Amino acid sequence: MNYLNENIDSLNKKLQDGEITAEDLAKETVKNIKETDKKINAWITVDEEAKPAENLDFNKNKLAGIPIAIKDNIITNGMKTTAASHILYNYMPVYDATVISKLKKAQATFVGKTNMDEFAMGSSTEHSYYGETHNPWNLDKVPGGSSGGSAAAVASGEVVVALGSDTGGSIRQPAAFNGIFGIKPTYGRVSRWGLIAFGSSLDQIGVMSKRVKDSAEVLNVIAGPDEHDATVSEKEVPDYTSFLGQDVKGLRVAVPKEYMDAVDGEMREVIQKQIDVLKDAGAIINEVSLPHTKYVVPTYYIVASSEASSNLQRYDGIRYGYRAKDTKNLLDVYVKSRSEGFGDEVKRRIMLGSFALSAGAYDEFFKKAAQVRTLICRDFEKIFEENDVIVGPTTTEPAFGIGEEISDPIKMYNNDILTISANLAGIPAASVPAGLVDGMPAGLQIMAKRFDEGNVFKVADFIERNNKFYEKTPTGMED
């Protein structure tokens, strides 16, 4: 079964009416993945024996029997989890991440793990031990990253919904590049227990889907408190679907000058058109400034790399994962296993982070970055005193060609300039399809104050109902 014209509601109705069984749905999904993914490479592991839960309750659980894709940095009991790295090529977890446990309780069906940039470090899904993923709209283009496999799996119709993770834009940027919806919730809204850590103060699990409502349905399930994660909020989780179908009259919408100045030509026209749609519907549009935007990239890469250098110390070739051969002593095991197990981009960030945390550089780099991060947070707090949401482009350009930027780390890092701030500030942010630029999708980014995912969904759903981008078929899948 191909999901290009399906959603959770349509599948749930077919299951309730007996048009298809959950067992057949799982089999058809795996069959379609094996056929479609030959040209996409969106998956690292496909469970060819995927089976739905027993005693499915389609009325109680909207996700019952619905096949879901999981990014390969989210721990799944008994299913290989590699983070797209050689160093974890054979890692078989013995427990489930909290989000997986919650989805199992909701009786979702797991069909496999999706490709990604190694340890979520990248913006193109080219930094994977298992090969690059291709964009369903143009197979010569990148799908974005690091959740490129999840985005491509949804956009190509292999699944209707997928989990991703977002440390600096890793859900929103690939969502924009693939013409789908993707949301990064507030930091602390969804448990990180079982998410392979990259930047612990930045990482957040989120959802990707063609339809806004599908992500709302899944976030309803995975959000909320968790005794395993002390950073998760105890705040009550609202029904995110209740924010759908509303108008935006009177909604105060901020448009950062710095974000609009970062795009021009057809990209600017596409984004401005969506802002005009909001204005015509009665939203109050205010031009604002995020003055510290020019500092977000260096701030992020110091903070994230420093946290990564600490988090990745655990991969040493001793307890699990890849261990180098022909070693002479314990130090040799450490050095060779990490040198051979990690890819170039991961090693680059470990070295950057280790330097930033070193005795001679800590005050000049990490401490300074933490101070600038505080200023960035204050920029957002000030805007949200008088505005409900912030909107603007998700990316500065549509998807670029495979191989075009991989040899230029600085250019690749700058691709995240419009998405990083939301992670530094810990606020919810999403990308919803805005239109096409040079035949490739472009996304409108929507941000709101902490724990106000409701307004993000409200605006995204309004945009979706107006442009119906979900009706478009990726051009790379048409043949």
* Selection from 30, 45, 39, 74 nearest residue 170 by Cα: 74
Q: Can you tell me the distance from the alpha carbon of 221 to that of 235, in angstroms, rounded to the nearest whole number?
A: 14
325 an active-site residue? no
User: Which of these is catalytic: 170, 209, 233, 337?
Assistant: 170
For 19, other C-beta atoms within 10 Å of its C-beta total 11
Find all residues with CB under 8 Å of 307, minimum gap 6, and list them.
Answer: 197, 198, 199, 200, 201, 202, 353
Q: Can you tell me the distance from the alpha carbon of 327 to that of 331, in angstroms, rounded to the nearest whole number?
A: 9
Work out the end-to-end distance of the chain between its first and last CA atoms, rounded to an integer number of angstroms. 16
Q: Can you tell me the distance from the alpha carbon of 155 to that of 172, in angstroms, rounded to the nearest whole number?
A: 14
165 an active-site residue? no
Beta bridge mates, 70: 113, 163
User: Which of these is catalytic: 62, 71, 102, 336?
Assistant: 71
101 an active-site residue? no
DSSP state of 41: -
Q: Can you tell me the distance from the alpha carbon of 212 to that of 206, in angstroms, rounded to the nearest whole number?
A: 13
- Residue environment code for 337-353, b if the CB has 16+ CB neighbours within 10 A, otherwise e: bbeebbbebbbebbebb
Joined tokens for residue 283: 């939203």
Q: Can you tell me the distance from the alpha carbon of 409 to that of 403, in angstroms, rounded to the nearest whole number?
A: 12
Joined tokens for residue 344: 């170039």
Q: Name the phi and psi angles at 253, rounded to 5.
A: -115, 120
Give the angle 171-50-159 at the CA atoms, nearest 5°: 35
User: Which of these is catalytic: 85, 124, 128, 146?
Assistant: 146
* Selection from 441, 28, 452 nearest residue 210 by Cα: 441
3-class secondary structure, 43: strand
Asked if residue 111 lies in contact with residue 30, where contact means CB atoms within 8 angstroms, the answer is yes
DSSP string covering 208-263:
EESSHHHHHHHHHHHBS--TT-TTS--SPPP-GGGGTT---TT-EEEEEHHHHHT-
- Indicate which residues carry an active-site annotation: 71, 146, 170
